[in-house]
Amino acid sequence: MLDRLKGISLGNWILIGMVLGLIVGLIVNFYITDPFIKDIVLMNNVFYLGGNLFIKLMKMLVVPLVFFSIVVGVASISDIRTIGSIGGTTILIYLLTTAVAVTVALAIGIVVQPGAGLHMAGIADTANVTANQTMTDTILNMVPDNPFSSLASGDMLPVIIFGLLIGIILAKLRDETEAFNKIFTEGNRIMMEMTSIVMKFAPIGVFCLMARTFGGLGLDGLLPLGKYFVCVLIGLAIQAFVVYPSLLVIFTRLNPVKFFRRFFPVMFFAFSSSTSNATIPLNLEKLSEMGVSRDVSSFTIPLGATINMDGTAIMQGVAVMFAAQAYGIDLGTSALLTVIFTAVMASIGTAGVPSVGLVTLTMVFNSVGLPVQAIGVIFGIDHILDMFRTAVNVTGDAICTIIVSLKNKAMDVDVYNGKKPPVKEEHIM
């Protein structure tokens, strides 16, 4: 029995915690009438302590995790200088598709209103929201007056800019700053390991957060949660089957139907494994069968697994609107632009650990002052959405690779169209 419990994955434990928390919360709401037991013991102590302790652990991770991962992510792509325009074009397309993804998500959230009717304003204190900040102030505030003060206070946009600058300098002075570069690399490994440890407490945290939320809201909270789930799926579908095929047709004139017919096994593997990194070998093999040169794909696919997180960006965009609506907060234009920029930057060097998108979501929430407690409500269903997000992520990697390959004359279109068999390549960059 114990061995069987140990075999349950973390994602399934989180799902179990969500379901149990929902059930316990409804029982507390409808069947426990004693104010001392319901409010003082459970709602304001047990559930409050367990849920907020987990939230504080996540908030503890955000600044160092994002800072180290951005520095290491930017510094690690210094080899783009050796392949000229391929590297620059690849990074530009990856960041562009991520910006499109989060914009689509925000639009869906504005139209569908997934958080409307949840009324969570009384469950947690609302932070200072950047709704009325001018665009000029937003741009000026991106540059830190004191980077150490920004790191200490968790002011994320200045932290991101500071990390980008350090990463660029480390990439430029790689041979002269090897020891310093190693410090950031090891720091990034430490933060990824710490994230893995904290995530082990996620099922308990999710249970307490869900129990407290539905202990106060009841069944009324289920509809917004379902709308959030559907909104993310709609956003992922638009990105995968509208945005990506459109880019393929516009930039290459290739038939997207042929792509999906041959790429479906990779999407299914990504869906079942929930990890972009594990899909890299299969992705490379399938692209080679489509006529893409390994000299390009062996660079663009691993890079995409690191910085191209369109599926995660969609989840974060919908989550922002969900939280804002649930707390009755009207986000202004500058706040929405801040969300787009922060979500795109968060995709650079994202740590390859389970559900890390929810950790960086804390950073996105902080960038516009949204209460991070809302993350607990959506945490439980994230494992299911993560499977769909991963399939979208690897599809974006492949589409962008085909575009870059064709533009750099590193792809055989006849192989893609099935007019001749693929050539077995031995050289891998």
Per-residue pLDDT reduced to its tens digit, 4-47: 767 777 767 877 887 898 888 888 888 888 888 888 888 888 88
Spatial separation of the C-alpha atoms in residues 56 and 51, rounded to whole Å: 9
- Domain architecture of the chain: domains with CATH: 9-416 (1.10.3860)
138: CB partners within 8 A, 6+ apart: 130, 157, 334, 337, 338
pLDDT mean over 347-360: 60
Percent of the chain with pLDDT strictly greater than 90: 17
**pLDDT of amino acid 250:** 94
376-417 per-position pLDDT tens digit: 778 767 767 887 888 999 999 999 999 998 988 888 888 888
Single-letter amino acid code for the residue at 151: L
Spatial separation of the C-alpha atoms in residues 91 and 304, rounded to whole Å: 8
Tokens of 54: 């987990």
120: CB partners within 8 A, 6+ apart: 213, 217, 326, 327, 371, 373, 374, 377
Q: Quote the mean pLDDT of the chain.
A: 80
User: 314 or 144, which is more confident?
Assistant: 314
**pLDDT of amino acid 177:** 83
Spatial separation of the C-alpha atoms in residues 320 and 361, rounded to whole Å: 9
Spatial separation of the C-alpha atoms in residues 61 and 347, rounded to whole Å: 16
pLDDT mean over 184-210: 84
Task: For the chain, count helices (H), then strands (E).
Answer: 21, 0
239-262 per-position pLDDT tens digit: 999 999 999 999 999 999 999 998
Per DSSP, the three-state class of 292 is: strand
User: 358 or 251, which is more confident?
Assistant: 251
Query: In 269-405, at which residue ranges do the beta strands (DSSP E only) sit?
Result: none
Spatial separation of the C-alpha atoms in residues 107 and 234, rounded to whole Å: 11
pLDDT mean over 293-313: 80
**pLDDT of amino acid 273:** 63
Helical segments of 200-275, H only: 202-217, 222-238, 244-252, 256-273
Per DSSP, the three-state class of 123 is: coil
**pLDDT of amino acid 428:** 40
**pLDDT of amino acid 132:** 47
**pLDDT of amino acid 125:** 47
**pLDDT of amino acid 69:** 74
Confidence of residue 48 (pLDDT cuts 50, 70, 90): confident
User: 157 or 233, which is more confident?
Assistant: 233
| Predicted confidence (pLDDT) at residue 427 exceeds the cutoff of 50 | no
